[in-house]
Amino acid sequence: MNANQVTEQLTEAGRQIEHNSFAIVDQEAGAHNYGPSQWQVVRRMIHASADFEFNGLTRFSNDAVEAGVKAILAGASVIADVEMITVGLSKPRLAHFGVKTYQFISDQDVIDQAKAENSTRAVQAMRKAHRLGLLEGAIVGIGNAPTALIEVLKLIEAGARPALLVGMPVGFVQAAESKIRAGAQSRVPYIITEGRKGGSTLVVSSLHALLALAEAQE
């Protein structure tokens, strides 16, 4: 199989639609302050959401894209806060790089522990990933639960070292605050969205951009 078939549309019609969509995004977005590889991520986020505010709301640590691409090329795992992210990611793309995905939000032990501690399932899911040793060297994608992002940041402070943190939880309670906290730390590279906006779709589109960039480096 040609490598391009892994991360691009498989029909000429599909490729043309995608090409035209990105051309429209580039034209309407206008000026931006992102580097070329960073823009590949942002334009896919805009493409997925039709929201041009992500041209400006998206923030990267200096080495975030490079860290993400390196992790994908090494076959790093993706740890997600919700199943929506793991379902949204292209299975052929992941398989091409040997990337596995994990999410524990609905596991019974996670639910039981959340009830016992009066915390959230998202918190306990991140703790479970850490106990299993899955956070080390992984890409952590959080698009729904601010408490998951806050917990991962606590684990990072305690010594956990994911390869990349994609922190884009959406919402009104702790969403903006959790991302401010993510952007204030320098231990782990990050891609975040500022403010209340975010969502699993944006995490998926960001990861697909990184997968495409990884393919380009093969």
d(CA 198, CA 176): 10
d(CA 190, CA 165): 5
Which of these is catalytic: 19, 32, 47, 96? 47
Q: Do 208 and 185 contact (CB within 8 A), yes or no?
A: no
How far CA 14 is from CA of 10, 11, 83, 90, in Å, comes to 7, 5, 26, 16
Phi–psi pair at 201, nearest 5 degrees: -60, -35
In sequence order, what are the residues at sequence separation of 6 or more whose Cβ sits closer than 8 angstroms to the Cβ of residue 175?
A: 146, 169, 195, 196, 198
Q: Do 142 and 123 contact (CB within 8 A), yes or no?
A: no
> What does the block give as tokens for 53?
């505010």
How far CA 161 is from CA of 29, 34, 106, 158, in Å, comes to 34, 26, 24, 9
In sequence order, what are the residues at sequence separation of 6 or more whose Cβ sits closer than 8 angstroms to the Cβ of residue 204?
A: 48, 85, 88, 89, 141, 143
47 an active-site residue? yes
d(CA 182, CA 152): 9
Residue numbers annotated as active site: 47
